[in-house]
Amino acid sequence: MKICAWREADSEDVKALGITKEDLAIINANLAYVARKDPDRAHKAQLVLSELGVQKLPSPKPEEVSSLAELIQFYRQHENKEASIEEIRKWQNEIEGGVKPSLLAKSISQVKDMEAPSNEMDI
C-alpha cells in the first residue's frame, strides 16, 4: 500500500522495512491486479520500485502501453529524453478524445524507425 500511495513518509518507512524477494513477488502479483483497475497507479508503483533499486522498470512494447503514464515512460525509454509538457498535453487530449495510448506509442515507435539511417546502399 505504501508503494502505491508513495507519500513523503512512505519512503522512509519502506526503506526501514526493506523489501525481500518474497515481498517483491507479492507486490508484483498485486500490481498485476491493480494494473487492470488503475494502470496509472500500477505504473507509479513500478516507478517507485525502480527508484528504490528493487527491480528494473519494464520496457513495454507499443501495443502494451495502456495509460498516459506508461506512454510518457515509453517515450523516455524509446527516445532517451523526456517528453515536453506540450507533447504530454497533446497526448492527454488525444487519450481523452478516445485515442488509445498504444496507438500513440506505435506512432512514436514508427517515427523513430523512419528516422534511423538505413544500412542499405543506394545504387
Reading the block at residue 89, the C-alpha cell is 498535453
Residue 98, domain extent: 59-116
Q: pLDDT by residue (tens digit) across 107-121?
A: 998 875 555 555 554
Average of per-residue pLDDT across 69-91: 91
**Do 46 and 87 fall within a single domain?**
no
The answer to whether residue 123 is domain-embedded is: no
What domain count does the chain have? 2
**Angle at the Cα of 65 (from 21 to 11), degrees rounded to 5?**
40
Task: Determine the straight-line distance between the first and last CA of the chain, rounded to whole angstroms.
Answer: 61
Confidence (pTM): 0.60
The C-alpha atoms of residue 42 and residue 59 are separated, in whole angstroms, by 14
DSSP output for 68-115? HHHHHHHHHHHHSSPPPHHHHHHHHHHHHTT--HHHHHHHHHHHHHHH
The answer to whether residue 121 is domain-embedded is: no
Q: pLDDT by residue (tens digit) across 56-77?
A: 877 778 998 988 988 998 998 8
